[in-house]
Structure 1
Amino acid sequence: MAQPTQTVKLRIIQTSDVHGSFFPYDFIQRKETKGSLARVSSYVEKLRKDYGRNLILLDNGDILQGQPSCYYYNYVATDKENIVSKIYNYMKYDAVAFGNHDVEPGHKVYDKWVGEIQCPVLGANIIDKATGLPYVKPFTIIERDGVRVAVLGMLTPAIPNWLDEKLWAGLHFEDIVASAKKWVAYLKKNEKPDIIIGLFHSGWEGGIKTDQYSEDAVRTAAQQVDGLDLVLFGHDHHARKAVEKGPNGNDVLCLDPSANAQNVADAEITITKKDGKVVEKTISGEVHSIANEPVDEKYVSYFASDINEVKQYVDRKIGTIGKTMYTRDSFFGSSAFIDLVHNLQLRLTKADVSFNAPLQFNAEIKQGPIHVSDMFKLYKYENMLCVLRMTGEEIRRHLEMSYDMWVNTMKQKSDHIMLLDERNTSDLQKFGFRNMTFNFDSAAGIIYEVDVTKPDGQKVNIIKMQNGEKFDPKKWYMVAMNSYRANGGGELLTKGAGIPKDELKKRVVYESDHDLRHYLAQEIERMKKISPRPNNNWRFVPDSWAKPALARDRKLLFNE
């Protein structure tokens, strides 16, 4: 007997790269904020009134790091349910995927987190070396009104380029496109879904490329993987809607909501089935801003004790600062903000040289009391502190690559001194620069100049050590840096300094037990009062070109 024709509408909402933006309160800036899951919750609940169980809520990872609320539950209140797990369960997420910043806290944190979450945690290309099988579920099947929806999770495989192996011990990360082809074929043969959604923690295209994998592979996956209907992605913090042609000429809708719960990816799928077979399928969607959505007061009330607990933690005073300092100064020369970290790294490790980059674009720590919250402005990520052996020439080449990504080669006085790209003004990791600002390493412990009229690879002239000794390109030096950089992050040590990736681990002579922020806070608390000033150990030259160009580009970037 023939079955009646049935039409089912599904609404798919995806968050990605939330980075701790859980509540309508920024614990770092200590003020109310627009982007948060409290507003996403309001939007989702409104849609659930119309769609009921046919609303499917997904998260694409990078949620375990970024705000003090994450740090507090990852490392301080470890006896309690992780706040991320609690939020996923409260909001009734249907499936979530791993992000690279979810791996960074290490097995102890994310294994506990996975065990607490009531929905499937996905990662088809995260392979357990002991079994050869995915470490978490590769996919999940969600059935709504007779429609079978397969959600396939993927994580960017570039983890080994950023993170020490102890954080992902026992794991291997497969190329996204190759893994997706294998798993989509499996799904079509064994699960026979009506819709296949890729939940990929990977950017659109570009990033790190090796012989084994590409960091950002969503566009390629949409073009090459036969069977994908919708790809919900993230990682690159760039809001995007695109439609790619699949290998059979079908349209594949791809949505990226960017970061910090400012937007959601919002898709509607309409399926018409007759006699159990799909006869019509339409997919539409957009990146939807949630800035104007109301705060979900029930959500805020449910998490009130968590909010208060984290507030008490970040409001603790640890010292005093004598003068306001700004990260924006770091782009234009030696700055108090960056040099404070440099000097503490050198003091803590007794290294000869320090590398450090601005991890935020425009943070400030105001004159007066320093609170725990300010430490998240001073140092955004949970990196460890490392010391590596490097030759003087490797130090120079490392800095050459950094400044080549940071500053322009000026051909005339009217040129930009900063290496800018107007297409990146809304990119949360570039802010108008061509490259990611957290790779703009400067150095302390040496005195040097950066000649912006010289070609790439020839800009940095190291004059001498900061203690007055001769700088020797052939001599071995101890160099302090964060664990991201020490592991090859940003490729400054590998492509820049020319150190083979597999040699980096052999170069490490020290790695801290705790994250760098912990030691910086401890040192400030010991000193009680700090009065940071620029070291003034490096500058852009020639002055007649650099000074007016710096003033022009500073006004362009910061309107000052």
Structure 2
Amino acid sequence: MSQITLTILETSDVHGCIFPINYGTNELQPLGLSKAAAIIKKIQQENEYIITLDNGDIIQGTPLTYHYVKYLAEESNPMIKVMNYLQYDAATIGNHEFNYGLPVIQGAVNQSGFPWLSANILDKSTGRPYFGKPYLIKEFPNGLKAAILGVTTHYIPNWENPEHIKGLEFQDAFDAARNWVSSIRKYEKPDILIVTYHGGFERNLETGESTEPHTGENQGYRICAEIEGIDVLLTGHQHRQLTGTLNGVLILQPGFNGQFIGKADITLEKSNGKWEIVRKDSELLPVGSEEEDEHVLQLANTYETRTQEWLDQPIGFIEGDMTITDPLEARMEEHPLVEFINKVQMDALGVKISCTALFNNAAKGLPHIVTMRDIVSNYVYPNTLNVIEISGKDMKEALERSASYFQLNDEGEIAVNPAFSKPKPQHYNYDMWEGIEYCINISNDIGSRIENLMFEGMPVDMDETYEVVLNNYRAGGGGEYPMFKNRPITRSSQIDMTELLANYFLKHKTVKATVNHNWKVVK
């Protein structure tokens, strides 16, 4: 009887991180593919039986990837150059792969020396997987046969710019996984079947209790519980750090930005001519203490140099104070940065009402001399803008959704509702509005917190129609804002918000840090 160990390496939600830095400050950070490369190459060299996979959301997320798409798109994609060097066996399509449009993702796929998998993203015209391969078969010495099936959260149409996914159909990820697992088991007869799912878990892994609304965005728990024949489920999307076993399925989720590499070791024994799994182990390998791989740095050096030059270009000035010292305070009382972003949105599309968010707690606001680095470190997503028509009732419901961001702690102080921070930080789902007046009373129950809702000096009419400008993610209902979904779009802009903010500075040169206190949070 012979025994072997198959090692599976997983990265996920790398989001354009090659260099171990924070682009907002250029301070070193324990993350990125240049550090991960040292671990990946070492394990690859030490193991004959190895599979290296990316779970999605890798070509978008840093100024480096943004600058590449906007100014160097005729060159090879830097993320793909690194992935080719690291000899990935396959990658799964993630939702953020679509942020720059189909030509960019198709270019990345074409440049890759490995297949991109997604069994449930279909070409509407043919009904077949759009990116070619739903799964990959990898065969090893001694007849070991591994199947790798890729599926992607089908919730993408709720977030993405429709032009970026034109001609695509997003089949339910659970249904696709169930059908393909059955087919692969029947016709391919692999010794091990791995599903790499760009999605996460909708339930508590220990108790089975639901942890989010039943939208279908994350279906990992159900996949493990209801689909027979899966040996390993690689996950992502939620930016969590997970290892363990669920209903006999080994699970992994290695965080984000290349801070960890997921590693699964599958021990198999051959009995009566057939390989059988006898042990499954998983762990997360931190990259922080690793030295950067010099070849990876060299592959991306030109892109990084150009990006850094672009980031340091001064584009305007702030008169007053637009810096942030306390992100909670900036969400409890109107901050000049938030008012500025809303004003830019209103100016860009000629609308009287706007809403936006402070996307994460790392946002530091804008200093006196503003560079592109300051812009991209505060507005971190490649959003575009839509103007939609909503009713006063829709507006009230959206504000109530935002108002659920707060709760009173045991000391009676205003704090963040854990639903917006666990299992994944979702500070970007708390919106602040301009052009209307309102009060959020935290002492009231969730759903009844909005008071004194006014527009142009009059109470907002629940049956009246209002135009609102907001980013494309929110306009599609993203962040549990169903009241915005499928509402009429009267105008839109295909210019990224970072460019709109930069263009505003280039036009006006100096921007005053102001607030008009049109909303407040009380208890």
- The answer to whether the superposition gives a TM-score over 0.5 is yes
Structure 2 residue aligned with 1:350: 350
Cα distance in structure 2, aligned partners of 1:192 and 1:81: 37
Pair 1:537 & 2:518 matched: yes
Letter in 2 for 1:391: S
Cα distance in structure 1, aligned partners of 2:135 and 2:286: 28
- Map 1:212-231; keep pairs closer than 5 Å: 214-231=216-233
Structure 1 residue aligned with 2:127: 132
Cα distance in structure 1, aligned partners of 2:121 and 2:356: 31
5+ unaligned residues in a row in structure 1: which ranges?
Answer: 246-250, 431-435, 547-560
Cα distance in structure 2, aligned partners of 1:423 and 1:238: 14
Pair 1:452 & 2:442 matched: yes
**Aligned to 2:35, which of 29, 36, 39?**
39
**How far is the alpha carbon of 1:275 from its aligned partner?**
5.1
- Quickly say closer, same or farther: Cα 1:30–1:324, change in 2 above 3 A: farther
**Aligned to 1:150, which of 116, 136, 147?**
147
Structure 2 residue aligned with 1:433: none
Pair 1:512 & 2:493 matched: yes
Pair 1:120 & 2:122 matched: no
- Matched position secondary structure for 2:506: helix
Structure 1 residue aligned with 2:504: 523
Cα distance in structure 1, aligned partners of 2:452 and 2:71: 42
- Map 1:395-474; keep pairs closer than 5 Å: 395-404=395-404, 406-408=405-407, 410=408, 414-421=411-418, 424=421, 427=423, 429-430=424-425, 436-465=426-455, 468=457, 471-474=460-463
- How many residue pairs were aligned? 510
- Map 1:266-281; keep pairs closer than 5 Å: 266-274=263-271, 276-281=273-278
Cα distance in structure 2, aligned partners of 1:516 and 1:348: 10
- Map 1:313-392; keep pairs closer than 5 Å: 313-322=310-319, 323-326=321-324, 328=327, 329-392=329-392
Letter in 2 for 1:325: T
**How far is the alpha carbon of 1:354 from its aligned partner?**
0.6
5+ unaligned residues in a row in structure 2: which ranges?
Answer: 203-210
Letter in 1 for 2:440: V
CA contact (8 A) 1:197 1:231 kept: yes
Cα distance in structure 2, aligned partners of 1:391 and 1:183: 43
CA contact (8 A) 2:236 2:253 kept: yes
CA contact (8 A) 1:208 1:215 kept: no
Cα distance in structure 2, aligned partners of 1:309 and 1:423: 36
- Quickly say closer, same or farther: Cα 1:416–1:150, change in 2 above 3 A: farther
Letter in 2 for 1:8: I
**How far is the alpha carbon of 1:154 from its aligned partner?**
0.6
Cα distance in structure 1, aligned partners of 2:108 and 2:313: 27
CA contact (8 A) 2:82 2:299 kept: no
TM-score normalised by L of structure 2: 0.92
- Matched position secondary structure for 2:183: helix
- Quickly say closer, same or farther: Cα 1:82–1:301, change in 2 above 3 A: closer
- Matched position secondary structure for 2:414: coil
- Matched position secondary structure for 1:303: helix
CA contact (8 A) 1:208 1:216 kept: no
**How far is the alpha carbon of 1:287 from its aligned partner?**
1.9
CA contact (8 A) 1:126 1:155 kept: yes
Overall identity of the aligned pairs, in %: 29
Cα distance in structure 1, aligned partners of 2:78 and 2:286: 24
Cα distance in structure 2, aligned partners of 1:6 and 1:128: 44
C-alpha offsets along residues 453-494 of structure 1, whole Å, 9 cap, x if unaligned? Answer: 2222221123533x55664444322211111111111232x2
CA contact (8 A) 1:61 1:96 kept: yes
Pair 1:80 & 2:75 matched: yes
Cα distance in structure 2, aligned partners of 1:225 and 1:491: 27
**How far is the alpha carbon of 1:418 from its aligned partner?**
2.6
- Quickly say closer, same or farther: Cα 1:379–1:128, change in 2 above 3 A: same
Cα distance in structure 1, aligned partners of 2:433 and 2:63: 28
- Matched position secondary structure for 1:226: coil
**How far is the alpha carbon of 1:366 from its aligned partner?**
4.8
Letter in 2 for 1:518: E
**How far is the alpha carbon of 1:150 from its aligned partner?**
0.7
Letter in 2 for 1:26: N
- Quickly say closer, same or farther: Cα 1:298–1:475, change in 2 above 3 A: same
Cα distance in structure 2, aligned partners of 1:75 and 1:207: 36
Cα distance in structure 1, aligned partners of 2:273 and 2:515: 70
**How far is the alpha carbon of 1:41 from its aligned partner?**
0.1
Cα distance in structure 2, aligned partners of 1:452 and 1:377: 30
Cα distance in structure 2, aligned partners of 1:208 and 1:17: 22
Cα distance in structure 2, aligned partners of 1:80 and 1:366: 32
- Map 1:255-274; keep pairs closer than 5 Å: 255-274=252-271
- Map 1:113-262; keep pairs closer than 5 Å: 113-136=108-131, 137-145=133-141, 146-205=143-202, 206-207=211-212, 209-210=214-215, 214-245=216-247, 251-262=248-259
Q: Tell me how large the CA RMSD over aligned residues is.
A: 2.1
C-alpha offsets along residues 532-557 of structure 1, whole Å, 9 cap, x if unaligned? Answer: 2333111122xxxx4xxxxxxxxxxx
**Aligned to 1:309, which of 306, 309, 331?**
306
Cα distance in structure 2, aligned partners of 1:397 and 1:223: 35
C-alpha offsets along residues 295-354 of structure 1, whole Å, 9 cap, x if unaligned? Answer: 222321332222212212222221122434127143222111211101111122221211
- Matched position secondary structure for 2:439: strand
Cα distance in structure 2, aligned partners of 1:304 and 1:254: 35
Cα distance in structure 1, aligned partners of 2:336 and 2:318: 11
CA contact (8 A) 2:68 2:303 kept: no
More displaced, 415-424 or 235-244?
415-424
Cα distance in structure 2, aligned partners of 1:30 and 1:160: 34
CA contact (8 A) 2:78 2:300 kept: no
